[in-house]
Amino acid sequence: MVVCFLIHTVCPVSALSAGETRILYARVFGPETGDGCDFTPEQRRLMQKEKLHVVARQVRSAVALSREASGGLCVEAVLGEEAAALGEADSGVFSLGNAELFPDRSVVLWLGVQSLAFSLVCRPHENLLLAEGTLRNIARHCLEELRLLGPGAEVLLKSDRVDALLHRLLPHGQLLFFNHRFVLALDKDIANYVSK
């Protein structure tokens, strides 16, 4: 089961300082946990928001460390070069401690594509190869169909399309095994939906 999916910044944006990250899209799967029984809905929402910010900051640090170690830099996006950007993307995985942010131990898979990061928080028993393939597939569709790397791309205005992508590729937070024919049909379905 996937706990949550995030799209956030990893490079400095004009409105942010060098050490900050901005969550552009977040989707949490699964039922509410019972850890906040004494809190109001607003307090629970703020606690969940802070948990997601902690994950985003840890991913930003991991991406920065990976790029520093490899000598890579955060470069500006070129429209039409989404496939190349995805091929050169940094990726990694790290573990969140037992009940550090979520009720159980969790694993974070991340993919740093230029100034954006795509992150999946999964349960530790999940198939990490399947989760990585799903994350790359979601990132590919977001980059190609929604043009997230283009100038002026507003993820916030395209959240309904990202929701539709997740509904098809990650229904209710469940990782799915796809065969080649199903992937082709799904790609066609997604392209038709996004073009509307």
* Cα distance between residue 121 and residue 126, in whole Å: 10
**Tens of pLDDT, residues 61-103:** 999 898 888 886 665 555 566 677 777 888 999 998 766 577 7
pLDDT mean values, one per 10 residues, the chain (196 residues): 91 62 88 65 87 91 88 63 76 80 85 90 92 91 73 67 87 88 85 75
Kindly report the pTM of this predicted structure: 0.84
Residues paired with 15 in a beta bridge: none
Long-range contacts from 92-98, C-beta under 8 angstroms, 24+ separation: 92/62, 92/63, 92/66, 93/128, 93/132, 94/58, 94/62, 95/124, 96/55, 96/58, 96/121
* Cα distance between residue 152 and residue 156, in whole Å: 11
CATH number at residue 95: 3.30.450.60
* Cα distance between residue 26 and residue 8, in whole Å: 9
Using alpha carbons only, what angle is made at residue 156 by residues 151 and 49, rounded to the nearest 5 degrees? 130
Rg, the chain, Cα only: 17
Give the tokens for residue 56: 């985003």
Strands 106-113 and 23-28: unpaired
Domain count, the chain: 1
Question: What's the mean per-residue pLDDT of the chain?
Answer: 81
Residues paired with 73 in a beta bridge: none
Residues spanned by the domain of 83:
2-195
pLDDT of 45: 87
